[in-house]
Amino acid sequence: MNRGPRETEEFFNEFAGLVDTTFNAAEKSTLGVGGRVQAAIFPPTVSLAAALQARSSSPLRIEVGAQNIHWEAQGAFTGEISGPMVRQLGLNWALVGHSERRQYFGETNTTALKRTESLLKQGFTVIACLGETLEERQSHRTQAILSDQFLNSIGEDSGTQARSKNLIIAYEPVWAIGTGLTPTLAEIEASHEFLRDLIAKRWGTETAQSTLLLYGGSVTPQNIGAILRCTSVDGALVGGASVKPESFAALLKLAAQTIDRN
């Protein structure tokens, strides 16, 4: 719940200036459509149109998506938005099951499943979020929670979408979000490898290898390089560090450099 339409326009203008002045030609070519690093930003609903308008001034193609979308196409669901509404804006990216939706707004595996299935059928690229709380980690239930969320909030037919890269899975340990705490690199690797093994058992090895797995949880310019060098990590789901243009630009620059070295 950051940045209204005016602030969103200011964000993109500043971001465009930073890219223009601080990225070299190789870094620019690595990012965006046709490059090896893809980026998407998820503003508040009221700022989606402003983000699309402002994006046109960006030297990089940044995808824009919605933080939350209802599973029904229309109806008496006060306060919600639907997939067709978002598609009318020209958007086809969405988050599903983010930890804050689960923690504060009653999102369950059942409702996340409805959103995931509906949005994938509508042609959205969906980032489905999974992760454990601190209590669950301390009680050694991380894998049980991840397994439960994966099996019950992502549809059986989603394997087809995973193969086409329309389904992206983000591991976000709830206890690490906004706290400055992060799992060790070994713990991140272990959780991602566990998720990839779940995908393989459900949809096959080929799908497991091609499905993008993101890490989210206090990702910063200081740690993103090390995180992206983990062999099981394909990208990052970034919270607070993406709100400021300078840190968002720094994240993308470091991602381009890391990918280029790899």
Contact between 231 and 214 (Cβ < 8 Å): no
Transcribe 128-177 into DSSP letters.
EEE---HHHHHTT-HHHHHHHHHHHHS-TTHHHHHHTT-EEEEE--GGGT
pLDDT computed for residue 146 by the predictor: 98
pLDDT at 59 over 70: yes
pLDDT computed for residue 262 by the predictor: 60
CB atoms within 10 A of CB 229: 13
Of the pLDDT bands very low, low, confident and very high (cuts 50, 70, 90), residue 124 is: very high
76-115 pLDDT, tens digit each: 999 999 999 999 999 999 999 999 999 999 999 999 999 9
pTM of the entire predicted model: 0.95
pLDDT computed for residue 122 by the predictor: 95
Q: What are phi and psi of 170, to 5 degrees?
A: -115, 125
Between CA 174 and CA 189 the distance in angstroms is 17
CB atoms within 10 A of CB 85: 17
pLDDT at 261 over 70: no
**Span 183-196, mean pLDDT?**
96
Catalytic residues: 98, 172
pLDDT at 144 over 70: yes
Token pair in block for residue 214? 């993101």
Of the pLDDT bands very low, low, confident and very high (cuts 50, 70, 90), residue 260 is: low
Of the pLDDT bands very low, low, confident and very high (cuts 50, 70, 90), residue 6 is: very high
Distance, C-alpha 95 to centroid of its chain: 7
Transcribe 142-154 into DSSP letters.
HHHHHHHHHHHHS
Radius of gyration of the chain (CA): 18
Between CA 157 and CA 113 the distance in angstroms is 11
Annotation: CATH topology of 67-203? TIM Barrel (3.20.20)
Q: Which residue has the higher pLDDT, 118 or 158?
A: 118
pLDDT at 33 over 70: no
Contact between 70 and 82 (Cβ < 8 Å): yes
Name the residue among 178, 259, 186 with its Cα closest to residue 216. 178
pLDDT at 32 over 80: no
The H or E element containing residue 121 is helix 109-121
Share of the chain above pLDDT 70, in %: 98
pLDDT computed for residue 196 by the predictor: 97
- Segments making up each domain of the chain, as ranges: 1-44+51-66+219-262, 67-203
Token pair in block for residue 52? 């699309």
